[in-house]
Structure 1
Amino acid sequence: LNAVDRGVVGYPSALSAKTWGFYDVAFKGKAFEFERPFGSYVMENVLFKISYPAEFHAQTAVECAMRLHAEVALRLDQIERIEIETQEAGARIIDKTGPLANYADRDHCIQYMVAVPLIFGRLVAADYGDAVAADPRIGALRSKMSVRENPQFTRDYFDAGKRYIGNSVQVFYKDGSHSEKVAIDYPIGHRKRRTEGIPVLLQKFEGALRGHLPQQRVQHILEVCASAERFDAMPVHRFMDLFAL
């Protein structure tokens, strides 16, 4: 800012200026190459974390576990093993064995995030706390889980046209029987599930507002957001003021 105040002239092209431009300094003279023209790709592919407070690589694993809960919860003591398949990123980042120290540790453990919904049929923020984590059934289930990469999940994860975050969960019992293998390619916050996801996202938005703001103001915010015309006509600072505590 001092340089601007003094009228110091910057490089007309910060990227391509010779010697001290970004290309020369960081890319050895090579220019950027882009996967696609600039457009709306990023906004169209926004991932919303809607249903579960879980690290994103485990979102579909949690959903798989939720589908299995009704069957598995009645047979917890009969489980021999649980097989989880995930993408390379999931296997690398959230495959975690051994003691979990705190909320953040549990939030980045796919085994924990699968065990809780298998047992309780839910995964909410409080489930990462010490009280729930102390339930011995969680540790018992984690010890029976194996996590491995599914190459197809990895390919779909890196495919720019898909951007899937697939997981599968299957439970095997001591008597030789097993659950179905539940596999889900993308979470409810993915662009391919917008019709299903947007109503849930709006419910989450309204719930967050009602938990912190006066109800009259909440109603005003909802009315503004429901009308593109009213929203576009409102100055940004006025809109932001609505959220001040």
Structure 2
Amino acid sequence: MDNFADRDHCIQYMCSVMLVFGRLEATDYPDGSEAATSEMVESLRKRFKCVEDPQFTKDYHDPALRTISNALTVELNDGTVLEEVVVEAPLGHRLRREEAKPEILKKYQRHLAPHFSENKVKQLVELGLDQQKL
């Protein structure tokens, strides 16, 4: 992949990063990043085969649903096929908003930590959670 935009628009890259590092964050896209320079990510990316599921596309365009469904099936080198994983609505979708809140809070803390002391991060989090003060 030649640049940030190539990686940002490549589902094979995104899935490979998740499988190798267990994450996918903005820091995984820039040139020179750990993920962008990973030989394992590149090797996996080249092995992905993407296939449209017409029902997923239909559900995405249905205003009542607007799901962003995805599925992943893994076939190992020995031919073993692992059970397919299907996610109809990703974390953060309106159907999973409550489930996403703890993860969003963790992400917020993770992004604050390099810039503020532990005490200041705690204060900012508490302030953000206090609807009366906001």
TM-score normalized by the length of structure 1? 0.47
Shift of 1:168: 0.8
**Of 153, 156, 159, which aligns to 2:56?**
153
Q: Tell me how large the CA RMSD over aligned residues is.
A: 2.3
Distance 1:221 1:139, change over 3 A: closer
Match of 2:102 in 1: 199
**Of 119, 125, 132, which aligns to 1:222?**
125
Partner SS, residue 116 of structure 1? helix
Partner SS, residue 74 of structure 2? strand
Distance 1:101 1:189, change over 3 A: same
Which consecutive segments of 4 or more residues in structure 1 shift more than 6 A? Answer: none
Shift of 1:173: 3.0
1:141 and 2:81 matched: no
Shift of 1:136: 2.7
Match of 1:189 in 2: 92
Shift of 1:162: 1.5
Question: Could you list the per-position Cα deviations for residues 108-128 of structure 1 after superposition, in whole angstroms to 9, with x for gaps in the alignment?
Answer: 210111112223333344433
TM-score normalized by the length of structure 2? 0.79
Structure 2 regions of 5+ residues with no counterpart?
none
How many residues are paired up? 132
Match of 1:179 in 2: 82
- Residue identity over aligned pairs, in percent, reads 40
Shift of 1:217: 5.0
Q: Distance in 1 between matches of 2:20 and 2:122?
A: 37
Map of 1:1-245 to 2, 5 A cutoff? 100-128=1-29, 129-130=31-32, 131-213=34-116, 218-231=121-134
Structure 1 regions of 5+ residues with no counterpart?
1-99, 232-245
Q: Distance in 2 between matches of 1:135 and 1:230?
A: 45
Question: Could you list the per-position Cα deviations for residues 60-102 of structure 1 after superposition, in whole angstroms to 9, with x for gaps in the alignment?
Answer: xxxxxxxxxxxxxxxxxxxxxxxxxxxxxxxxxxxxxxxx112
Distance 1:137 1:207, change over 3 A: closer
Partner SS, residue 133 of structure 2? helix
Select the structure that is richer in strand. 1
| Larger RCO, structures 1/2 (Cα 8 Å, 6+ apart) | 1
